[in-house]
């Protein structure tokens, strides 16, 4: 059986959907009268757009929720305590500091090499400088700029590292306190 309501509000119960209900919502009923299936009527373009927007928003929310659950599981499986987070932060900062020192050392070495090349360049003030020397000077200047850029990045990473572990610690506390509260 089919049940539908026409544009004038009249209700129809028939074996086949009546022409008066064409494009309107129709319900397919079981022998006992319960609704088995609903088929929507023809939607206006605005209704279709609204329904599509709702579907996309729901899908985006579900994706965000799944990603959040994945991150939470990863966080809880990575750290067993707040101390683990602090220990990992300390190791990461120590590694970053070692990289900073290594880069500073590379810059100092390159600057010493540049001074030697500049001194050698003085020898050629009145005669043409050999192409190899000119190329070596350009290369060492590029190396110093590159290393300086790397050093700047490594120094900026300290704040990023601290922010990341602060956020991890905050989420860890929220997740574990929620778990502890639910156990009580």
Residue 37 is predicted with a pLDDT of 80
* Spans of the chain, pLDDT less than 70: 41-44, 178-184
Locus of tokens 């499986």: 77
pLDDT at 27: 84
Per-residue confidence (pLDDT) for residue 114, from 0 to 100: 92
Query: Which residue pairs from 95-101 have beta carbons closer than 8 angstroms and sit at least 24 positions apart in sequence?
Result: 96/154, 96/157, 96/158, 96/161, 99/154, 100/151, 100/154, 100/155
């Amino acid at each position: 059986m089919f049940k539908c309501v026409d544009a004038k509000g009249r209700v129809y119960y028939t074996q086949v959907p009546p022409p008066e209900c064409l494009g309107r919502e129709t319900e397919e009923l079981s022998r006992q009268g319960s609704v088995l299936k609903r088929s929507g009527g023809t939607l206006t373009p605005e209704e279709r757009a609204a329904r599509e927007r709702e579907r996309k928003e729901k899908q985006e929310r579900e994706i965000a929720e799944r990603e959040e659950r994945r991150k939470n599981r990863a966080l809880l499986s990575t750290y067993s305590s707040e101390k683990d987070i602090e220990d990992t932060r300390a190791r990461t900062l120590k590694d970053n500091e070692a990289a900073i020192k290594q880069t500073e050392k590379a810059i100092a070495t390159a600057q010493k090499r540049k001074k030697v090349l500049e001194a050698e360049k003085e020898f050629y003030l009145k005669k043409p400088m050999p192409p190899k020397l000119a190329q070596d000077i350009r290369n060492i200047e590029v190396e110093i700029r590159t290393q300086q850029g790397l050093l700047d990045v490594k120094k900026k990473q300290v704040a990023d590292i601290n922010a990341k572990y602060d956020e991890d610690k905050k989420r860890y506390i929220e997740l574990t306190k929620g778990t502890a509260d639910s156990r009580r």
